Amino acid sequence: HQPMYILLSNLSLLDICFTSTTIPKILLNLLCGNTTISSAACLVQMYFFTAFGGADSILLSAMAYDRYLAVCCPLHYVTITSGLRCALLVAVPWVLANLISMVHTILMTRLSFCSNRIPHFFCDLNTLIKLSCSDTQVNEMLVFVLGGSTVLVPFVCIVASYTPIAVAVWKVPSTRGKWKAFSTCGSHLCVVFLFYGAVIGVYFNPTSTHTTQTDMAATIIYTMVTPMLNPVIYRVKT
C-alpha cells in the first residue's frame, strides 16, 4: 500500500498549497474590505495557482495508473511500483506543472491591461487574459496547448487506465467481488469527476459561452469544494 499512500500524501499537500494561494487573500478581502493586490503579487498568485492546479491534475492521472496496476496486475504491483518509479510518479507532476506555469507567467508580463479591476475572486489566468488590451492570441493558444497537456492529456490517461479496470471488474463472478474491486477506485473517481468537470467547463469551453457568474461558480468547485471534500471522500473509503 506504500505507493498509494505516498500519492495520497502528495495529493493532500497539493490541496493545501492549492487552496493556500487564494483562500487567505479572499478571506482578507471579505474581513477587511481591502480588495487591492499589487501587480507582482497578482502574478505570483497566478503562477502558484496554475502550478498547483496543473500538478493536481497530473497527479490524479498517476493515481489512476496506480489503481490500474493494483487491479489488473496485482501480482506484479510491488515490483512495478519500485522506489524509483514511485518517485517519478510524484516528481513529474510537480516539475511539469511548474514549467508550464512559468511559461504562462512570463508571457503575462508582456501584456498591457485595459483595466485594473479584476472581475474575479483572485488572479486567474483566463480572467487576466480577458483584461488585456494587447494581442493575446499566443496566450490563448498556449492555454489550450499547455492546458491540454495538464488537463486533457491526464484525463485521457485516466480514461485509458479505467477502461481495463472496468473490464477486469466486469469479469469478477461474484457481486461482492465486483464491489470490492470497484471500491478500490471509487474515491479516486469521485475526485476526478469533481475536479475535471469544473476545470474543463472553465478553461476548455468556447469563450462565447462564458459568463463571469458561471466561471466563478465553477472555479469555487475546483478551488474550494473539491480540496475540502478530498479528505472526506478518501476517509470514507479507508
What is the SS3 assignment for 224? helix
The per-residue pLDDT for 205 is 65
Q: Encode pLDDT of 147-174 as tens digits.
A: 888 888 999 999 999 999 888 888 878 7
pTM of the model: 0.85
Residue 238 CB neighbours (<10 A): 7
The per-residue pLDDT for 1 is 60
- Between CA 164 and CA 46 the distance in angstroms is 37
- Between CA 56 and CA 151 the distance in angstroms is 9
Q: What is the DSSP string of 62-124?
A: HHHHHHHHHHH-GGGHHHHT-HHHHHHHHHHHHHHHHHHHHHHHHHHTT--BS-S--SSSS--
The set of long-range contacts for 107-110, using a CB threshold of 8 Å and a minimum separation of 24, is 107/138, 107/139, 107/142, 108/43, 108/46, 108/139, 109/43, 110/134
Burial of 216 (0-12, 13-18, 19+ CB in 10 A): middle
The per-residue pLDDT for 209 is 58
The per-residue pLDDT for 46 is 93
The per-residue pLDDT for 72 is 84
- Between CA 14 and CA 229 the distance in angstroms is 14
Task: Flag residues of the chain having pLDDT under 70.
Answer: 1, 202-215, 236-238
CATH number at residue 54: 1.20.1070.10
- Between CA 158 and CA 70 the distance in angstroms is 14
> Looking at the 3D structure of the chain, how many domains does it have?
1
Identity of the amino acid at 225: V
Residue 47 domain boundaries:
2-237
